[in-house]
Amino acid sequence: MKTTILNYRIIVEKEKQNKGFLCVAYAPSLGISDFGKTVDEATSNVKKAMQLYIETSIELKKSIPAPDSDDYFVTSKKIEVNLPSGSFAY
């Protein structure tokens, strides 16, 4: 059996909870997500879920989504704006 490396993008977002934050990791190409207290824990958990998904797909002879390209970058920027009071809540 041949070992193949598959690369899938993972997006991690912090989600506010009652007692702090939780990190949610999402693999959009596979439609899989998991969570953890830290980014490392969330990505480790979602990696295990991805591995299980791919292995189960192989066992069931189902197609596997194509891996993501390495040519991808996600970032964010904070912007400062003056908003009138009560304009919207977030």
Q: Which domains does the chain have, with CATH numbers?
A: 1-90 (3.30.160)
pLDDT tops 80 at residue 86: no
Question: pLDDT per residue over 27-38, tens digit each?
Answer: 999 999 999 999
pLDDT tops 90 at residue 82: no
Helix, coil or strand: residue 5: coil
Overall average pLDDT of the 53-78 stretch = 90
For 28, how many CA atoms within 13 A lie in the half-sphere containing its CB? 5
87 or 48, higher pLDDT: 48
Judge contact between 70 and 5, C-beta under 8 A: no
